[in-house]
Each structure stands twice: as structure tokens, then as C-alpha cells.
Structure 1
């Protein structure tokens, strides 16, 4: 009597035909089933990843930061999750708001999730740069959630409903600890949604150290890109620290990792790499700052 093997429910119609063909030709034997499954593996994965039809052109999203897109081959690759990090008060929230304003001006839906500031405070922050956020909120292009106590499931529901092209989370340190971030099932579900819908997101995080220290956390490793904002002294005459920005990582992009100066203006962040300060000079300042920090830490240990 011929033994029938149960057909796995996940097999496609084509897969079942392969099984039936082997069964008809060679009989219902284990070796037949193994050969059929090997054949299925080959055809299944080819169907999942059709390299011939993948769009080779990487679509890029403008950041809204003057000059920065030129150093990112046109902008952030669409669908990327980019870490915007640095010590407190270095312009991370302003950077993120300017990124969203660039989106709404282009007719893109955007969401700002803040875990530290009230919505009213955020709107005031927006308007001080002359951005008419009220209009974009009324028109449905911008949603702001201040001091968000939302669960990841609720944020997923909001994103599913609003269908944004840009999302900002400020800051992730309040939402989860870096050590728990990559293994969090809640975050993985949210991250999967962002990737599936090709939503380009900024994930704001806090650093307790400056740009001179080569120290990274789990947020940085997960992100497709890392932009570090800080203040450093650029010359011996003017000791006022200058804001600098460094693209430390951006997948699928050739980048200059050297920190470059920028300015805060009445209309936001302006003129990235506008000041004619050689990269070598900035790098020397960073090395000097690193040496000074190390000297202070060693003295404290003695």
C-alpha cells in the first residue's frame, strides 16, 4: 500500500506540483521527499529575492539641512533609520524638526513622537524658526505627540493610520535602555513596520560624552546611519565652542566622517560646512580635546 505524506500548509501550488511529480515518478519514499524539498528551496528563495528586478537606484530623502545632502550623495536613503545623537543642547531636536519641515513642505506626511517635551512646547520650538506648523497640522501633514506615554503597539497603530513618509522619535533613551533596545520585541515590531513601509526615520539619542570619544552603544549599531552633533573649540583666539556635525555612518553612501561646522540661525540650522576651516584643523582640535579628557580621567583615578 502506498504511503501518503502530509503536504505542508505553507507550500505553494508550484511546490505541491513538484512533490506530486517526484511521487509519481519515483514513489512515496523519504529520499524522494528530500529531493523535492531541495528543489523547492532553490526555487523558493529565487522567488523571494529576484535580483534582476531589484531597483538599483537608491532613492534619497532630502534632510532640509543646507549643504548636508551634498555629502550624502543627495540625502538619506529612503527607508533608513538614522541615529541623531550627541550631548544635551547640541541641536538634535532642531535637526529633527527641520528634517520634518522639509518633508511637509514637499507634501509628505510626518510624525513627531517626543518622550520628553509637551506638544505645546514643541510647537513653540517650531514657530520660533518661522515654521508655520499650525497650517501643516490642520492640513493633516504633521502630527505631534508630546511627552508621549504611548506604547509601541499604539505608535504602530498611529503610523499605520497616518501612513507617514518621515517619523522622528525623540529620544529613545527615555523609551528604552540601549542594552535592551536591539532585543526588545516591542521595538522590533515597530522597526519592522518602518522598514516594511519604507519610512525614513530619525531616532534621537543622548550621549554623555563628546564627539572626541570613540564609544558607541546599541542604538548606533542598529541604525542605518549615525549623525553626531557637538560643540568644539576651533581655534586658540576665539575660545567660544562652535557647533559641529559629523556623519559617522551611513550605509550605501560614501561619506566624509570629519566633523564640520554649522550655524544656528533664526530659520534653523544653516550653512553646513560653510566656514572655511580645514578638516585637519578640526581633527586636531578633537584629538587635543580627547587627550585633555583622558588626562582629567587619569588624574581623578589617582
Structure 2
């Protein structure tokens, strides 16, 4: 009687069959053959090469909803990125992030907002200032807001699994973890891995004690795929009012101009200036002058 060429399983790949046949000749006993063959198959995956031809070279970008900012980012933030939105208090970080979520809602994307320091009533009032119909978006199932959130990162992960959002905002990380311990946290690394695996674009708000002219970074900054810094600076000696500015300090896979760009608060949120009367170069010159003067102050 003819011997079956595929004694174990007829649906095995040709590579698997070759391995089985080779070890069957060497070892004879079926249990030893299977054990050795399976070990070989398991180790072979470490030798495989990445097929770069099958990787999509086009980067899908997500609109931020902030007029002018997308122009600074080749059309938007790369999908699935974690972007740190940082700066001193009161510079518009929460407003920018809310706009980011509202843009998602307009595109029928589910969005989550986790605040660790504001009550939900305050957050909704903040949203409503700019004419955003939060109640409707929540009722329609496109937005969920968690205010003064006592949730752990593990519980947040469970919410993400159930809700399946495309955009998330965390406000702010300083309230829930110390920067020096943040990246070492197993619970955060697990959550961050989940965000990446699900291709969720997230904005992570953090607080800075220094202004944009100071070149200093913390652990949160190194974590992010991108950094957007918001601040207010005095544009000239004559004008006493401070000018809101934003600078894209970092954005992977994107050509960026890191110089500060002036923006304004409107009744519909944040909008980057498109006028030429206050250019980025003038702001950069002003910042350099301020930084130079500070660095030459005598230390007492």
C-alpha cells in the first residue's frame, strides 16, 4: 500500500511539509517529528523579512479642525499619532483639543474626552462657548465626555474597547502621573500600545512652567509623536497685550516649520492668523531677544 505523502495534515503549506518530511526521516517517531517541526516553524518567524512593498507609503492625515494648523502639518496629523499639546496655563490647550474632537464628530468619527481636573458641567460650558452642540453629539453617540475622571488607565482601556473611538483627548496627564515615572508605568504603556494597535489619534495635554522661548523638554515630550506648544508673548515694545502663538515643535513623518505662529480666539474656536502684519519671523526675533536678555542677567 502506498505511503501517504502528507501523514499529518493535508492543508499544511509546502514549507511545513518539507520540514515535517525532513525530521520524519531523521527521527522517525511522529511525536518527536511534530515537536521538532513546530519548534522550527516558531523560530522561522524571527528570520522573516518585512515586506516593504506591501506597506502603504501614503500617510493618512487627520484634520485638526484648527484653521491654519493643518497647513503647517502637510494637511494634518498622521493618523494614529499621539500628540502632546503643551504650554503654560491659560494658553488655549483645552480649546484646541476640543476643536480637534469637534472636527472628528463632523466627520462621523467617535470621540472621547477624558478630563482629570474639570467637572463635566464646566467642560460642556466650555464647548458651548464656541457654538458646539455637545448635547446632540452625545445623544447621537459620537462624543463621550468624562469629567474629573477617577478612572484608571486600565478602566480607560476598557472604555476604548467598548466605544471604539477614532480620536481621544487626555486633559491633563500632569494630574494623574509624575513625568519621571510616566514612561515606566506598565498601565500607561499598555494603554499606549492599545491606542497604537487601534490606530487611534490622541491629543495628550500637559502643563509647562516655562514659556515657548525656553528650550526645555520633559518626559511627556519624548513620548509624543508630535509636540504642539501654545503660549502668549509680547510681540513688540509698543503693544502691551500678549499675542497667542503656537509652534509645532515636532511631528514625525512631517515637514514642519518650528517657528511660532500667531493665532487668535474667535467665536468658533482657535484660528491661525493668515495676515502678514504679524509674521512668524518677527515673533521669532522677539523671542530670541527675550531669551538673550534673560541669559545675560547676572546670577545672584
Deviation of 1:249 (Å): 0.3
Asked if the contact 1:110–1:143 (Cα under 8 Å) also holds between the matched residues in 2, the reply is yes
1:275/1:126 Cα in 2 relative to 1: closer, same or farther (>3 Å)? Answer: farther
Alignment-derived partner of residue 41 in structure 1: 44
* CA-to-aligned-CA distance 1:121-173 (integer Å, 9 cap, x gap): 00000001111111001111000000101011110011111100000000001
* CA-to-aligned-CA distance 1:49-102 (integer Å, 9 cap, x gap): 432211111111000000111111110000000000000000000000011011
Give distance in 1, aligned partners of 2:158 and 2:46.
35
Asked if the contact 2:262–2:279 (Cα under 8 Å) also holds between the matched residues in 1, the reply is no
Give distance in 2, aligned partners of 1:200 and 1:235.
37
Give the alignment's TM-score, normalised by structure 2.
0.87
1:135/1:275 Cα in 2 relative to 1: closer, same or farther (>3 Å)? Answer: farther
Structure 2 segments unaligned to the other structure (5+ residues)? 1-11
Give distance in 1, aligned partners of 2:226 and 2:65.
16
Give distance in 1, aligned partners of 2:123 and 2:150.
16
Matched, 1:220 2:221: yes
Moved more, 273-282 or 230-239: 273-282
Structure 1 segments unaligned to the other structure (5+ residues)? 1-12
Deviation of 1:24 (Å): 4.0
* CA-to-aligned-CA distance 1:213-264 (integer Å, 9 cap, x gap): 1111111111000000001111222121100000000000000000000001
For 1:92-103, what aligned pairs fall within 5 Å after superposition?
92-103=93-104
Describe the SS at the equivalent of 2:52.
Answer: coil
Matched, 1:240 2:252: no
Asked if the contact 1:83–1:227 (Cα under 8 Å) also holds between the matched residues in 2, the reply is yes
Deviation of 1:44 (Å): 5.5
1:274/1:193 Cα in 2 relative to 1: closer, same or farther (>3 Å)? Answer: farther
Moved more, 176-185 or 267-276: 267-276
1:55/1:123 Cα in 2 relative to 1: closer, same or farther (>3 Å)? Answer: same
Deviation of 1:280 (Å): 2.6
Alignment-derived partner of residue 105 in structure 2: 104
For 1:140-155, what aligned pairs fall within 5 Å after superposition?
140-155=141-156
Give distance in 1, aligned partners of 2:277 and 2:251.
24
Give the alignment's TM-score, normalised by structure 1.
0.86
Alignment-derived partner of residue 20 in structure 2: 20
Asked if the contact 1:261–1:275 (Cα under 8 Å) also holds between the matched residues in 2, the reply is no
* Structure whose CA Rg is larger: 2
Describe the SS at the equivalent of 1:23.
Answer: helix
Matched, 1:117 2:118: yes
Asked if the contact 1:260–1:273 (Cα under 8 Å) also holds between the matched residues in 2, the reply is no
Give distance in 1, aligned partners of 2:41 and 2:143.
50
Deviation of 1:37 (Å): 4.7
Give distance in 1, aligned partners of 2:90 and 2:258.
21
